[in-house]
Amino acid sequence: MTPSPRLLWTAFAAVVCIIALIAVVSFLSDLFGFKARKIERLQREAETAQSDAYARSLESEGQAEQITRIESAGRLTIDVNTITAEAVAEARNATDANEPLPSDRASRLAAHDRSLCDLRPLPGCPAPSDASPAGE
């Protein structure tokens, strides 16, 4: 007994409908978790990109601060060299350059030391005083 053609067509249509139903359900429900894994991977990539961007911003801030400190140190070095050169020239041209150290020469050296300390207080520098000497 051979099956009737109508029964074969009905079975074929049922198989096609079942395959279509399985395709739709798998597309909508993500049975194997492909979409979930892709979403997790994209979230990890986004988090990595955000942390990298934050690290780069911290690096650029640090570099800017470093440049500021280097420029400040360079200006300080130039200022110290200028003040010292002026003091050396003044000391060499002074009339008392070869004599023992009198009080006015000591005052001149102390003034130079104060100008260096005013430029940048360092250990050994006296505390800045606002009081002017008596008689002025």
CA 12 remoteness from chain centre: 68
Task: Report the alpha-carbon distance of residue 84 to residue 101 in Å, rounded.
Answer: 19
User: pTM higher than 0.85, yes or no?
Assistant: no
Residue bearing tokens 């350059």: 97
Quick one: tokens of 75? 């200006």
Encode pLDDT of 94-130 as tens digits: 887 777 777 887 888 888 888 888 887 777 777 766 5
pLDDT at 136: 41
Whole-number Å distance between alpha carbons of 105 and 48: 66
Q: What is the pLDDT of residues 14-51, one digit of tens each?
A: 999 999 998 888 777 776 778 888 999 999 999 999 99
pLDDT-based confidence at residue 75 (cuts at 50, 70, 90): very high
CA distance 104 to 116: 19
Query: What span, in angstroms and rounded, lies between the C-alpha atoms of 12 and 7?
Result: 8
Which sign does the torsion angle of CA 60, 64, 67, 73 carry? negative
